[in-house]
Amino acid sequence: MILDAHVYVGQCLFGYGRSLDEIRADMDRLGIDKAVLVPVKPRDYHLAPMNDLVAEAVQRHPDRFLGLCRADPWQGETAAAEVRRGFEGLGACGLYLDPWEENFQANDDVVVPVVQEAGRYGKPVVINAGHVRVSHPTQIRDLASRFPAVQFVACNGGQINISGMLQYEARRMLETCPNVVIQTAGTYREDFLEEITTEVGEERVLFASRSPVYDQAFEMARVRLAHLSASQKEKLWGLNALRVFEAQ
């Protein structure tokens, strides 16, 4: 079973985007059974209608999709209310925070209310991680340490640096925070994914494409061609994500 733990739906302010029909066609073509849909930030900046779009897709195709609720922490109580709406009314399986696109630091106090809401509902928090000034692995680690009961999912292997200089911090984040897992998408050096799986824990890595920011077919190769055992790959392909998103 292949579960892509991160697929954006909708047309984004920043130029990327795919419709639900395009996503389903690509999943069929690539042999992806299920995907976690993530709302994009639309041109009008309003996230609530995008959360509705995701919820409708999940309702129409519950066998193919799970969905995240996205909130902008800068919206204060409005954001917290949107998170509650996402979990109570829309059936979201987790909260999505994007410090890069919403322009906040991942461990800033402004984030606390929405993370508390996720914790109250026992839902995971997926964070666009690895961006040096807003979601550096030390900042994800700081946040996750303050909320040890909340499950965090760090995108991009927790590190975006093409010299490999953040790998040490990303590993430290995982070693010191058992409540953090990473996604595979865009990760610099495939051997980092192999190292984390074999040395830190084979439950700590989720296959995700972050498509269409990254290429879905190419991102699959990171797991398919990894130098890991079949049982380890089975966990990366979907078992780990099911545990994170469906066992809440």
Partner 1 sequence: MIIDSHTHVDRVGWYDPPETIVRLMDEAGIDQSIIMTYRDAPDSEGALEYIAQAVQKYPDRLIGYARMNPRRGEAAHRLFVKAMEVYGFKGLKLHPVGNLCHPARQETIDMISLAVRYKAPVLFHCGDEELTLPLQVAQAAEACPEATVILGHCGGYFHTRDAIRVAERHPNIILETSAMPYPQVIKEAVERVGASRVLYASDGPGCDPTIEVLKVKLAGLTAEEQEAVFYRNIKHILDGVRAGGGMS
Binding stretches for partner 1 (CB under 8 A)? 160-165, 186, 188-192, 214-215, 217-219, 221-222, 225
Q: CB nearer to partner 1: give 83 or 160.
A: 160
- Minimum CB–partner distance for residue 237 and partner 1 (Å): 16
Radius of gyration of the chain (CA): 16
Report the distance separating Cα 151 and Cα 103, nearest Å. Answer: 22
- Minimum CB–partner distance for residue 160 and partner 1 (Å): 5
Q: CB nearer to partner 1: give 1 or 217.
A: 217
- Minimum CB–partner distance for residue 170 and partner 1 (Å): 14
Is-contact 226 193, C-beta < 8 A?
Answer: yes
- Minimum CB–partner distance for residue 164 and partner 1 (Å): 7
Report the distance separating Cα 95 and Cα 204, nearest Å. Answer: 18
- Minimum CB–partner distance for residue 38 and partner 1 (Å): 17
Burial environment of residue 203 by CB neighbours within 10 A (0 to 12, 13 to 18, 19 or more): middle
Q: CB nearer to partner 1: give 96 or 192.
A: 192
Q: CB nearer to partner 1: give 163 or 231.
A: 163
Angstrom distances, CA of residue 216 to CA of 5, 183, 185, 211: 11, 13, 9, 5
Report the distance separating Cα 132 and Cα 130, nearest Å. Answer: 6
Q: CB nearer to partner 1: give 1 or 221.
A: 221
